[in-house]
């Protein structure tokens, strides 16, 4: 797994129960996603030059231990699998002080052509980078 996010829980991230709100878990996972995508070849430059995007089509979140204001968090991520037009990846959010897993998320994402408004084939250069990432992190 690679480190894709480091941050903290702020009081504004929390709900009326005093724990981090669901929407903020997803927001922090999204920041981690951007780092993971850039690391496997879907850089902002690639997206802009090719008028492409990565579209999430499925999310599965598992909330394990609550996070409170001032908690320090880290997200580690990895790609699990790839197909012609899509891939699946995994995030694990951990409280950096207690080392307890706070949440995990699995996302299925599609390589998307913004001009045609439909999925498109992942370029072979990026697909090879993803395949190498999977092989490296399966060990």
27's CB contacts (< 8 A; 6+ apart) are: none
Count CB-CB contacts under 10 A for residue 84: 11
pLDDT given at position 138: 76
Instruction: Write down all domains in the chain, each with its CATH number in brackets.
Output: 2-138 (3.10.129.10)
Q: What was the pLDDT predicted at 139?
A: 64
Residue 96 has pLDDT above 70, yes or no: yes
Q: What is the pTM of this model?
A: 0.93
Q: Is 51 left (phi over 0), alpha (psi -120 to 50) or beta?
A: left
What average pLDDT does range 93-111 have in this prediction? 98
Q: Residue 65's closest CA among 29, 20, 13?
A: 20
Predicted local distance difference test score (pLDDT) of residue 137: 86
Residue 111 pLDDT > 90: yes
pLDDT in tens, 13-49: 999 999 999 999 999 999 999 999 999 999 999 999 9
With beta carbons less than 8 A apart as the criterion, state whether 57 and 14 touch. no
Best CA proximity match to 91, nearest among 12, 15, 37? 37
Half-sphere exposure of residue 95, counting CA atoms within 13 Å on the CB side? 17
What does pLDDT average to over the chain?
Answer: 96
Burial code of 47-77, b = ≥16 C-beta within 10 A, e = fewer? Answer: beeeebebeeeeeeeebeebbeeebebbbbb
């Amino acid at each position: 797994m690679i480190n894709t996010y480091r941050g903290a829980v702020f009081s504004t991230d929390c709900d009326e129960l005093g724990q981090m709100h669901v929407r903020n878990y997803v927001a922090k996972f999204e920041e981690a996603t951007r780092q993971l995508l850039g690391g496997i070849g879907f850089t902002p430059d690639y997206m802009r030059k090719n008028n492409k995007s990565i579209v999430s089509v499925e999310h599965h979140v598992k909330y394990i231990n609550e996070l409170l204001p001032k908690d320090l968090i880290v997200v580690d991520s990895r790609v699990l699998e790839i197909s012609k037009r899509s891939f699946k990846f995994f995030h694990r959010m951990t409280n950096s002080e207690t080392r307890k897993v706070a949440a995990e998320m699995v996302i299925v994402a599609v390589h998307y052509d913004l001009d045609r408004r439909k999925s498109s084939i992942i370029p072979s250069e990026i697909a090879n980078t993803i395949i190498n990432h999977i092989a490296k992190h399966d060990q």
